[in-house]
Structure 1
Amino acid sequence: MIKKLTMGVVVAGMVFASGCASILSDSEYPVSIKSNPVGANFTVTDESGMDVHSGVTPDTVTLSASDGFFSSASYTIKYQMAGYREQSFQLRPGMDGWYIGNILVGGLIGMVIVDPATGAMWKLPESANVNLEPSTASTAMGGLTIASVDQVPEEIKSELVKVQ
């Protein structure tokens, strides 16, 4: 009887000394980096301006959702591709739903110490996806516009003159 009571107290102590989000989720998440069209160069930068990762879309990177005790991380993803405007995507975490589970299971210790310390109270989005916009170059006077053939409307393609 005493063994069962002791075991029950130990298990209850472990449950209340841990954080719900720390047990059921992570503090680092894979984020899928995508663009339309594919093949864009991207750079992931943290809040301090340091490059965290770079690559070519599509790619998956693992990022930390935490930037310290009770502080979430945030990232800027810059996309670049020839013939397209440079675009940025802000990647910000939200609160992990399991963090609220501390009210029922993890208790005050999980809510105030464990989950904030491990970063498990934050969750990053699963993907960062942008539709790149084609870029065109034009003169200040608007007399000359340079565009790729894809950007020319079908009704005037027959009027194009090949330059050699």
Structure 2
Amino acid sequence: MALRLPLALAATLLLSNSCATIVSKSRYPVAFSSEPPGATFTVKDIDDREVFSGTTPTVVPLRSGAGYFEKQSYTITFSKPGFDSKTMTIDADFNGWYVGNLVFGGFIGLLIVDPLTGAMYRINDTQVQATLVTSGQGMAPTTEGGLQIVSLQDVPLNLRDKLEPIATK
């Protein structure tokens, strides 16, 4: 009787076929938002196929795999009238749970299930926000006398030479 539980656990571990598929997933909910809100956006996969089109804010489930042993990559383009379009990318990364196939002897999971389902990869960027810049202005609108902090990549090239460093102590 005391031997049944360890034997059952050992059998379960040996018969585990796909560690990443069991413990993890192959679709990840990604939240898309923008400043200002209400921007339209499209999501294209690694093959340049449109997989989603909508308006911010929204959540979209995205696959982490693009095919057998191929991780997915997405290109997202945000746009709104009166603002410059902005393009961003999301790439899938290696999922550490995939290594569990080696430990638990799941060669079917290692060579077939996890690579086919895409579970051997994961999407870490589950929140994507785009700050749109007013067309021709170079900066997003602010309230009168307000301060706005933006990333250097959001400053148009023609205005970057006008930037001055802030002295620090």
Q: Same fold (TM over 0.5)?
A: yes
Instruction: Please tell me whether the aligned partners of residues 65 and 118 of structure 2 are also in contact (alpha carbons under 8 angstroms).
Output: yes
% same residue: 36
Query: How much has 1:74 moved relative to structure 2?
Result: 1.1
Are 2:49 and 1:50 equivalent residues in the alignment? yes
Q: Distance in 1 between matches of 2:9 and 2:36?
A: 57
Q: Distance in 2 between matches of 1:28 and 1:49?
A: 19
Instruction: Please tell me whether the aligned partners of residues 65 and 72 of structure 1 are also in contact (alpha carbons under 8 angstroms).
Output: yes
Give 2:32's aligned residue: 33
- CA-based RMSD of the aligned residues comes to 2.9
Q: Distance in 1 between matches of 2:93 and 2:72?
A: 10
* Structure 2 unaligned regions, length at least 5: 146-169
Query: How much has 1:31 moved relative to structure 2?
Result: 0.7
Give 1:104's aligned residue: 103
Q: State the SS of the aligned residue for 1:103.
A: helix
CA-to-aligned-CA distance 1:49-84 (integer Å, 9 cap, x gap): 221111110110111111111001111110001121
Q: Distance in 1 between matches of 2:38 and 2:9?
A: 56
> TM-score if structure 2 supplies the norm length?
0.71
CA-to-aligned-CA distance 1:125-156 (integer Å, 9 cap, x gap): 2122111111117xxxxxxxxx9xx47976xx
Give 1:74's aligned residue: 73
Instruction: Please tell me whether the aligned partners of residues 32 and 61 of structure 1 are also in contact (alpha carbons under 8 angstroms).
Output: yes
The count of corresponding residues between Structure 1 and Structure 2 is 141
Give 1:23's aligned residue: 22
Q: State the SS of the aligned residue for 1:100.
A: helix
Q: Distance in 2 between matches of 1:9 and 1:102?
A: 14
Give 1:90's aligned residue: 89
CA 1:152–1:123: 2 relative to 1, 3 Å: closer
Which amino acid in the other structure matches residue 79 of structure 1?
A: F
Give 2:127's aligned residue: 127
CA-to-aligned-CA distance 1:76-109 (integer Å, 9 cap, x gap): 1100011211010111111112112333235444
Instruction: Please tell me whether the aligned partners of residues 34 and 57 of structure 1 are also in contact (alpha carbons under 8 angstroms).
Output: yes
Instruction: Please tell me whether the aligned partners of residues 43 and 54 of structure 1 are also in contact (alpha carbons under 8 angstroms).
Output: yes
Q: Distance in 1 between matches of 2:127 and 2:30?
A: 5
> TM-score if structure 1 supplies the norm length?
0.73
Instruction: Please tell me whether the aligned partners of residues 20 and 106 of structure 1 are also in contact (alpha carbons under 8 angstroms).
Output: no
Q: Distance in 2 between matches of 1:85 and 1:133?
A: 6
Worse overlay, 109-118 or 79-88: 109-118
Give 1:115's aligned residue: 114
Q: State the SS of the aligned residue for 1:133.
A: coil
CA-to-aligned-CA distance 1:21-55 (integer Å, 9 cap, x gap): 11101111111111111110001112222211111
